[in-house]
Amino acid sequence: MRILLVEDDAGTAAEVSRGLTGAGHLVHHVADGRAGLMEAIGGGYDLLVVDRMLPALDGLGLVRALRAAGVATPALMLTARAGLGDRVEGLDSGADDYLAKPFAFAELLARVHALGRRPALNAEPSTLRVADLEMDLLRRSVSRAGQRIDLQPREFRLLEVLLRHAGRVVTRNMLLEQVWEIHFDPKTSVVETHISRLRAKLGEPSLIHTLRGAGYVARPSDA
């Protein structure tokens, strides 16, 4: 599984990351709630392991924001607060499981695997749409108003990421990670160049909008 670990304690993060990686999982770690929220909204994760007490945005707020945004990725919350009320509050926030610190890694791993075995709540869509633009993920085709649009593989992936988050902001860093698999800022205009080419191919009125200082959003022009 691809797991997002949101944990500000460096020792705990290192131990959990090492153990999960050793069990065959891919782990990406961030150290504050706001970064965790942006990563999780970006999608592509099978499971979230989230500490309750985090800087910038706590674990409860992070999970609530994800559920409000329609992100249903299973979440396991870690916390030093193990009272009944705390556990209920964590589960009510949208977390799927709750594990008190300190914990044995074997129990953490068992809970991770149990969450991983749960069936998805919703089937993966095979068609993505915004206005008169349609992307068929099975046929790998794109059309607008019934007219086929030929895209290069990278352009197709870029549009797919934008359409999967239609109506929501996708940051430049999210696009670098999900389209180019670059996990740092290369200080180039690769994203801007591809966005410009994609807009030209999709035609008018534009369905990809730039929000200065935030990123890009796919939505109808009159939305």
Average pLDDT over residues 203-213: 93
Q: What CA–CA distance (Å, rounded) separates 72 from 42?
A: 12
Q: Who's near 37: CB < 8 A, 6+ residues apart?
A: 57, 62, 65, 66
Q: Which strand ranges, in their side-by-side order, compose the sheet holding 133-136?
A: 127-130, 133-136, 141-144, 147-149
Q: What CA–CA distance (Å, rounded) separates 136 from 21?
A: 34
4-52 confidence digits (pLDDT tens): 999 999 999 999 999 999 999 999 999 999 999 988 887 678 899 999 9
Amino acid at the residue 126: S
Q: What CA–CA distance (Å, rounded) separates 46 from 59?
A: 18
Q: Who's near 60: CB < 8 A, 6+ residues apart?
A: 52, 89, 90, 93
pTM equals: 0.54
116-171 confidence digits (pLDDT tens): 876 554 445 678 999 999 999 878 899 999 999 999 989 999 999 999 889 999 99
Q: CA torsion, points 182, 184, 187, 192, in degrees to nearest 10?
A: 50
Residue linked to tokens 């030929």:
150
Q: Report the pLDDT value the prediction gives residue 138, as an integer from 0 to 100.
A: 75
Q: Report the pLDDT value the prediction gives residue 121, as an integer from 0 to 100.
A: 47
66-111 confidence digits (pLDDT tens): 888 778 889 999 987 665 566 677 677 788 888 888 889 999 999 9
Higher pLDDT, 185 or 62: 62
| Burial profile 83-99: b = 16 or more Cβ within 10 angstroms, e = fewer | eeebbebbeebbbbbbb
Higher pLDDT, 61 or 119: 61
Q: Report the pLDDT value the prediction gives residue 93, as an integer from 0 to 100.
A: 76
CATH number attached to the domain at 127-218: 1.10.10.10
CATH number attached to the domain at 2-116: 3.40.50.2300
Pairing label, strands 141-144, 133-136: antiparallel
State the span(s) of the chain assigned CATH 1.10.10.10.
127-218
State the span(s) of the chain assigned CATH 3.40.50.2300.
2-116
Token pair recorded at residue 80: 């030093």
